[in-house]
Amino acid sequence: MLTPHMTPLALALLSAWSLNARAQTTPTPAGDTLPPVTVTATVTPDATTEDSGSYTSKDATVASKTPQSLKETPNSVSVLTRQRMNDQNITTIQEALRYVTGVTSVDYGDGTAYFRARGSQLGIQFDGVSIVSGLQYLLQFDLAMYDRVEVLRGAAGALDGIGEPGGVVNLVRKRPQDQFHISTETQVGTFGSVRQMVDVTGPLNQDGTVRGRAVLVGSDGLQSVDKTRDKEVMAYGAIDWDITPRTTLSLSGGYQVSPISGLDYGVGGVLNSDQTALVGRLPTSYSQNFSPSWNYSYTSIQEVNGNLVHRFEDGWKSSTTLFYRHMLSKADYAYSGPGVTADGLAYYGDQSQRNTYNWFGADTNVSGPIQLFGQTHTLTFGANYSVMSSTAESGFMSLNGPYDGGAYSVFDPNAVPSVNVPFTFGTNERTVQYGIYGQARIHLAKPLTLVLGGRVAFLQDRTQSTLPSVSDWTTNAQINHRFLPSAALLWDIVPSLTAYANYSRFLDAQTDTTYSGVGLPPRTGEQYEVGLKGSFLGGRLNTTTALFRINDDNRAVDDPDHQYYYIAAGKARDQGVELEVTGQPMPDWNVYAGYTYLNETFENDTPNLTDGTDPRHLFKLWTNYRFSQGPLRGVSIGGGMLAQTRVSRGVEQGAYAIFNAQVGYRFNKHVEASLQLNNIFNRGYYIRPPGSFYSVFGDRRNAMLTVRSDF
């Protein structure tokens, strides 16, 4: 009997007992007639990597709107599973994408980063909803709220929309489970960092048709760079409600605050005596903070998400998702530049800023099978809409230092005073993108599948000055009813090997203007890709080999006849090879390895500072083995590396390799602990090499103790 005084845990346990009792076999009565059997079930998410214990996923949704096996996806897709995130202690999007094949993750110094693949920047989706301008240089939620990270490399315009051809990241949230479950994670790092996570999920009513989940995270600690301290509080909640056995409503929300004190943007490269050219980096410890201790930033994020799915009896499914996110970012800080002299002198300026962002996204689609000519084909069609509106206010004040020319010593940044800086510049921006899309998987014959896709795309970007005076809105980019096609062919050579070839076009809006005041036409181009995918050991081990070429035209370049204006005359070609192995060669052994070769060439164009951070060779590895029997039962050992060739942003960062190692022990089925040593050989390196401004060090050698419980 239920009473008003029963606790939520008791209700959850009673619910689980009740479900189990209904599943027990009823004794057969006398006679020939069996009793009626009632089967009850809850609708589970289409795909999840939780509790899989694997570094690979059977399928992904980033290349189609429904789960599709990696082997039968004619694109380069990587999935960072929950198991690998746990094993590598990955908690931020920067760390996650740093260990995805072919992706460079470059920190900016303030908790944000930019991300690139195949020579261009990446876009973002949240549970399949494309969000315009929602990834680069923006803080993201702690990854404790996500089940997995999916990454499609290459042009994705047919389904994702207008954007650069680097690819798209899909962050897939954790969903409520139909069994009560609680897990915790406690982490302590040698820099002085402490992080605590609690994750609770389970049914909320007796028959399990309503399920809930809550994830809480709190962290506080010093960082690799001296005197930099960041804190974080994150809360995530989700509810799934099976309105009917075929209809599920999912609601979720998240909230996070992230203050950082002593944030450091680093320093630029050393200048020649004539103060013009970068000639090298400032020799210093790789823990030096070049900014005053009073530097401070604060970011808050709130979001809500709703999804309604209905599964029809004939195998068709409809899905509609609405997404909203609000972000506030404010900061007061000083930074140095341009450049620094050989004896460590640089100009400093105080800056204040306050930015707000609002994103709204909507996606609705229908997918299902069609029987035709004796074959089963799959059709997907839908529409999506995304809008980003932002307000930015900032002020800057140049400071006069104690040395000749008004400079300060970067080795004594606390001499830089904090002054009240009023806002002198303000801008409103609104970017809207929408379109209709479709994809058809046509089985031509038993070994051949043709995948055709397309999108009719629309985009508008407008800005308005608000400081020092209010101006009228100006349209910077306008794209109307442009068609973005894609086509691919899959050939199942044998059950475990599939060859594929694909072609896709892309568009990317440009906001630069010509001397005549007309906006530039969009960047446009196409991608060609061929590859071979393997799925072995019953899908436990997946491999990918891909060769790609991206032609990128109409790139904005400086107008040679009119300074500060542009023409659309630049061209780039990005081509290379990608190799990836993920999964379990043996039941107790997980492995991930990814290698990328990238060759970038430019015609009538020069690489910009972000282009310069793409290494030609990039290799990533992580592996873990758990002993399940013998005297070492319960012990796990793991490790990995990241190696890349030189990059440059004006100052060259030479090739480097970082090695990590881990050992763990499972005390019982509920509790395990691990100790991880990162950057074993204490290699000094830049994640973001110096340019005229800014530089970011990679973490020096550090250790992290992690204790996890699971009930």
Rounded distance, CA 696 to CA 268, Å? 10
Determine the distance from the C-alpha atom of residue 229 to the mean position of all C-alpha atoms in its chain, rounded to a whole number: 23
Residues with Cβ within 8 Å of residue 404, at least 6 apart in sequence = none
Q: Are 329 and 418 in contact (CB under 8 A)?
A: no
Q: Are 65 and 365 in contact (CB under 8 A)?
A: yes
Residue 277 has pLDDT above 70, yes or no: yes
* pLDDT of res. 286: 86
* pLDDT of res. 282: 73
Rounded distance, CA 551 to CA 573, Å? 5
* pLDDT of res. 651: 86
* pLDDT of res. 248: 98
Residue 579 has pLDDT above 60, yes or no: yes
* pLDDT of res. 32: 42
Return the SS3 of 248: strand
* pLDDT of res. 427: 97
Beta bridge pairs of residue 36: none
Rounded distance, CA 284 to CA 411, Å? 9
* pLDDT of res. 21: 36
Rounded distance, CA 208 to CA 42, Å? 7
* pLDDT of res. 283: 66
* pLDDT of res. 47: 58
* pLDDT of res. 48: 75
* Tokens read off for 683: 């290699």
For tokens 């806002």, the residue is: 423
pLDDT tier at 337, thresholds 50, 70, 90: confident
Least confident among 228-242, 297-311, 456-470, 688-702 = 688-702
* pLDDT of res. 4: 35
* Tokens read off for 226: 């001296």
* pLDDT of res. 434: 97
pTM of the model: 0.91
pLDDT tier at 279, thresholds 50, 70, 90: confident
Beta bridge pairs of residue 203: 211
* Tokens read off for 30: 């006398």
Residue 129 has pLDDT above 70, yes or no: yes
Least confident among 134-143, 333-342, 662-671, 697-706 = 333-342
Number of H helices, E strands in the chain: 4, 40
> What value does the mean pLDDT take over residues 80-98?
97
CA dihedral in degrees (561, 565, 569, 573; nearest 10)? Answer: 130
Q: What is the pLDDT of residues 584-624, one digit of tens each?
A: 999 999 999 999 999 999 998 877 766 678 999 999 999 99
* pLDDT of res. 646: 95
Least confident among 22-36, 328-342, 427-441, 450-464 = 22-36
Rounded distance, CA 111 to CA 327, Å? 14
The CA R_g of the chain, rounded to the nearest whole Å, is 27
Rounded distance, CA 687 to CA 694, Å? 11
Q: Which helix (H) or strand (E) holds 14?
A: helix 8-22
Structural domains of the chain ordered from first start:
179-710 (2.40.170.20)
Q: What is the mean pLDDT of the chain?
A: 91
Nearest alpha-carbon partner for 484 in 529, 454, 441:
454
Q: Is the peptide bond before 468 cis (omega within 30 degrees of 0)?
A: yes
Strands 425-445 and 375-398, sheet pairing: antiparallel
Residue 38 has pLDDT above 80, yes or no: no
* Tokens read off for 474: 């100006």
> What value does the mean pLDDT take over residues 390-399?
96
> What value does the mean pLDDT take over residues 54-61?
94
Nearest alpha-carbon partner for 624 in 591, 660, 666:
591
* Tokens read off for 640: 């990995």
> What value does the mean pLDDT take over residues 217-224?
92
Q: What is the pLDDT of residues 417-473, one digit of tens each?
A: 999 999 999 999 999 999 999 999 999 998 999 999 999 999 999 999 999 999 999
